[in-house]
Chains A and B, each alone.
Chain A
Amino acid sequence: MAESLMVGTRIRERRMMSGLRQAELARRAGISASYLNLIEHNRRRIGGRTLLKLAEVLEVEASVLSDGAEAALINGLRQAAARSKGVSELDRTEEFAGRFPGWARLLSDLSVQREGLEGTVKTLTDRLTHDPHLADALHEVISTVTAIRSTASILAGSQSIEPEWQQRFHRNINEDGRRLAEAAEGLVRYLEGAPDTETEIKSPQDELNAFLTANGFHFPMLEEFDGEGQIKDILGQSEAIETPPAHWLAQAMLEQYVADARALPLQMLKDHFDQYGIDPEQLANMTGCDLPVVFRRLAMLPEDLVGPVGLVICDGTGMITLRKPALGFEVPRSPGACALWPLYQVLAQPGMPLRQRLRQGEVNVLVFAAAETARPAGFDLPALIRPHMLLLPDGETATVARQVGTNCPICEVPDCPARREPSILSTGF
């Protein structure tokens, strides 16, 4: 149900909380009871003077009645439903979020937390299974325990043992006891050195995105780059980058930033925008820079200079390696975004940049997509392609925008040819 129509539900809720009868509220607001009944059942849109009058009678701000629950919260609840089983009231998600925003936020947060914890369990399981150091340490402990158990069992047995063997087994037990103590100490040291299990274990990509978000995707220090010290300083001061893999990603990202800033210096861009506005294709043509360089540069400039700009980059597998959502266009955290995104079209046809008007839910964006060849093809190696997708505000309303989704489980687009799994929003579970 469209958000604007849910105003009626909120009016009804408020009226009942105030202990007013429908006829009484209608009378005091200067409308008929039957009209109010239609409004309360979301069968009539409402706004303007009538909304203000009803808000006045109900003694609430009009915005409390008109503003639906935040889209992000609703999306969070849908994601929570997609992760769980047995939710049968998906059509009432918005109503739930509107009536109980605190509980809704808690539910959404708990679901995100659960996903994080599941990721932690997987990480720890992988670690236990594949960490060679841990495997070696445990093998040493178990082997030593085996030797001690077997030897002690011989010594404690009823059969008489020659003094020479007795002496040898005592010596072995003593030796193995010492080895076991050392192995156990090593194991404890190793486990104590492991990440604190109370802190969230994030993927390197999560850390990178947190780092970029905390810096607004812009690094003034790197605009006037004069040495590697700046990158080291930025990374050294960052609280978001905690692990070596994330450090590696961030280092590569900042080196790319510096190269892009050299290709398109900030002052040159300011002059260009003053004269021509924000037009990626024109900027690429006039500067001779590749479109992906232009995209990255636009997405990493301050919002007060270029306005809201989003960017999504993926690798050749379609795995999203950088996500900068903007303009309300949702970019999923998990792999597997909408297959209709131009991002994936340029992955299939890297030589063919695209410009499309897209609509995702209620959000319209102007999208530019182009692929960068990170490494050209050779006889023994395929080309490594990195598709980029830039999101800009869409001021055009005459052209029909193409409908796309976020990812299938929470996408409402009916009869989508690209659907790879049913939507919980249309079919439930």
Chain B
Amino acid sequence: MGRKVMLIEDERNIIEAISFILSRDGWEVKTHSNGHDALDAIRERMPDVIILDVMLPGRSGFDILQDIRKDTEISGIPVLMLTARGQKKDREMAERAGADQYMTKPFSNAEILESVRSLVIT
């Protein structure tokens, strides 16, 4: 079984596309689509990498990330943040919240694959 990546994103067709390309690359993909209980889902599945969207129903990705970094059980998991906003202040917010990488939509499949791979290596 390959390494586990957890995709927390609420757009169904983005979930299907990213899940497909990561699965083809050998990743075991777990998905979750709301912010309410994202932390519980992460603790339960203990992924190697998290792909976290910023705008989620129920709770923002920034808030979830801050809680991830406070939880010693999961704080070490690398996180790639996805957002539709490319402004400098959004990138800074992601860095402050503890994101390892930050990617602005729309991204290419190659970019997301490369990013996820690099997070596990580091």
Contact = CB atoms under 8 A, between A and B. Distances in A.
A146 B109 contact: no
Contact of A143 (B21, B105, B108, B109): B105
Contact of A172 (B17, B24, B106): B17
Interface residues of A, number: 21
B97 interface: no
A176 to B, nearest CB: 6
A303 to B, nearest CB: 52
A172 B55 contact: no
A168 B12 CA distance: 12
A348 interface: no
Contact of A150 (B55, B84, B109): B109
A147 B84 CA distance: 12
A149 to B, nearest CB: 5
Interface stretch (A151-159, A285-293, A320-328, A373-381): A151-159
A5 interface: no
Given A139-B55, A146-B105, A153-B109, A175 B13 contact: yes
A134 B69 CA distance: 32
Chain B interface residue bracket vs A: 10 to 19
Interface in A301-344: none
A146 B106 contact: yes
A145 interface: yes
Contacts of A154: 17, 20-21, 109
Lowest 8 A-B CB distances belong to which pairs?
Answer: A150-B17, A147-B13, A146-B106, A142-B84, A146-B105, A172-B13, A147-B14, A151-B17
A139 B11 CA distance: 11
Nearest to B110: A153
B21 A150 contact: yes
Contacts of B18: 150
Interface of B: 11, 13-14, 16-18, 20-21, 24, 55, 84, 105-109
Contacts of A147: 11, 13-14, 17
A165 interface: yes
Interface string A107-144: 00000000000000000000000000000001100111
A217 interface: no
A55 B44 CA distance: 97
Given A139-B84, A151-B17, A154-B20, 19 more contacts: A143-B11, A143-B84, A145-B106, A146-B84, A147-B14, A150-B18, A150-B107, A150-B109, A151-B16, A153-B108, A154-B17, A154-B21, A157-B109, A165-B20, A168-B16, A169-B16, A169-B17, A175-B13, A176-B13
Interface of A: 138-139, 142-147, 149-151, 153-154, 157, 159, 165, 168-169, 172, 175-176
Contacts of A157: 109
23 contacts: A142-B84, A142-B105, A146-B105, A146-B107, A147-B11, A147-B17, A149-B106, A149-B108, A150-B14, A150-B17, A150-B107, A150-B108, A151-B16, A154-B17, A154-B20, A154-B109, A157-B109, A159-B24, A165-B20, A168-B16, A169-B17, A172-B13, A172-B16
Contacts of A145: 105-106
Nearest to A175: B13
Contacts of A151: 13, 16-17
Most A CB contacts (10 A, CB to CB) among B14, B20, B21 go to: B14
B24 A146 contact: no
Contacts of B106: 142, 145-146, 149-150
Nearest to A149: B106
Nearest to B15: A147
Contacts of A169: 16-17, 20
A144 B16 CA distance: 13
Contacts of B11: 143-144, 146-147
A146 B14 contact: yes
B14 A143 contact: yes
Contact of B84 (A138, A153, A175): A138
A139 B84 CA distance: 6
Contacts of A144: 11
Contacts of B107: 146, 149-150
Most A CB contacts (10 A, CB to CB) among B16, B17, B84, B108 go to: B17
A18 B79 CA distance: 82
Contacts of B17: 147, 150-151, 154, 169, 172
Nearest to A140: B84
A30 to B, nearest CB: 74
Nearest to B53: A143
Nearest to A145: B106
A146 B55 CA distance: 14
B81 to A, nearest CB: 14
B84 to A, nearest CB: 4
Contacts of B21: 150, 154
Nearest to B55: A139
